[in-house]
Structure 1
Amino acid sequence: MADCVFCAIVAGSVPAFKVIDSPEGVGFLDTRPVFKGHVLVVPRQHVITLPDLSPTDLPGYFGLVQRVAAAVPQALGAAGTFVAINNIVSQSVPHLHTHVVPRTKGDGLRGFFWPRTKYASDEEATEYAAKIAAELG
């Protein structure tokens, strides 16, 4: 879809700090992360919500989400991850995307209040993306 920023990231016409680019989808750093290393995983095709994703694409897409959810703690030394999808409400970009957020005990995240932070520079974002990409192989 021409006016979808996530489709443009998938196509490579909009830059992003990609951690994985595979047939099942693309993972890249959120530009307003809850915590540094927060990855968005999107399917290659433009679908707006999870119910719009073809049942035949579910195993590949969620396999990719699972890989990213395993890689993020290993790459960043986090204890685990928070994995979430918004459908319509609170969905800032109308393209299905799954949040994979690194978590540690006592990190301050409570419920669905997601404080946002910023990367200090593109270089810092590149470092985080590279660590997760390296863990994904």
Structure 2
Amino acid sequence: MPDCLFCAIVAGSVPAFKVVDSPDGVGFLDIRPVFKGHVLVVPRPHVPELSALEPDLLPGFFALVQRVAAAVPEATGARGTFVAMNNIVSQSVPHLHAHVVPRTKGDGLRGFFWPRHKYGSEEEAASYASRIAGVLG
């Protein structure tokens, strides 16, 4: 899809802090993370929402989301993750993506109010991406 930011990231024509690049999808840091280490996982083909994802792609895509959800706490020191997906409403980019957000007890996240935290620098973002990618292998 020529005007899709996530398709451009998948294709490599737009830079991103990728943590995984596999046949099942691509994971990269959210540039406006809820907490540092917040990863977006997208399928390789342009798919606007979950209901449009081909059934044969579901197992691989969700296995990738599961792998990222396991890697994020180990890489960031978080206690767990919050995994979420919007369909059409609240999607800032109309390409299916799963949010994998690191969580710790008392982190202040309440319901669906997601305060955003910026990375202090590109080096800090690259460090988070590298640590998560390292856990993913």
TM-score range, shorter chain: over 0.9
Size of the alignment, in residue pairs?
137
Give the match for residue 90 of structure 1.
90
Q: In the alignment, what sits opposite 1:72?
A: 72
Superposition CA RMSD, Å? 0.3
* Identity across the alignment (%): 79
User: 1:1-137 maps to which residues of 2 (within 5 A)?
Assistant: 1-137=1-137
Separation (CA, whole Å) in 2 of partners of 1:76 and 1:32: 17
After superposition, the C-alpha distances for 1:31-52 in whole angstroms (9 at most, x for unaligned) are: 0000000000000000000000
Shift of 1:72: 0.2
Distance (Å, rounded) in 2 between the aligned partners of 1:76 and 1:86: 24
Pairwise CA distance, 1:10: 0.1
Q: Unpaired segments of 5 or more residues in structure 2?
A: none
* Whole-angstrom distance in 2 between the partners of 1:37 and 1:76: 7
Q: Distance in 2 between matches of 1:121 and 1:76?
A: 17
Query: 1:117, 1:76 → 2: CA distance?
Result: 15
- Deviation >2 Å, runs of 4+: none
The alignment's TM-score, normalised by the length of structure 1, stands at 1.00
Letter in 1 for 2:98: T
Report the alpha carbon displacement of residue 117 of structure 1 after superposing the two structures with TM: 1.0
> How many angstroms does 1:76 deviate by?
0.8
Instruction: Provide the rounded CA distance (Å) in 2 between the counterparts of 1:88 and 1:8.
Output: 19
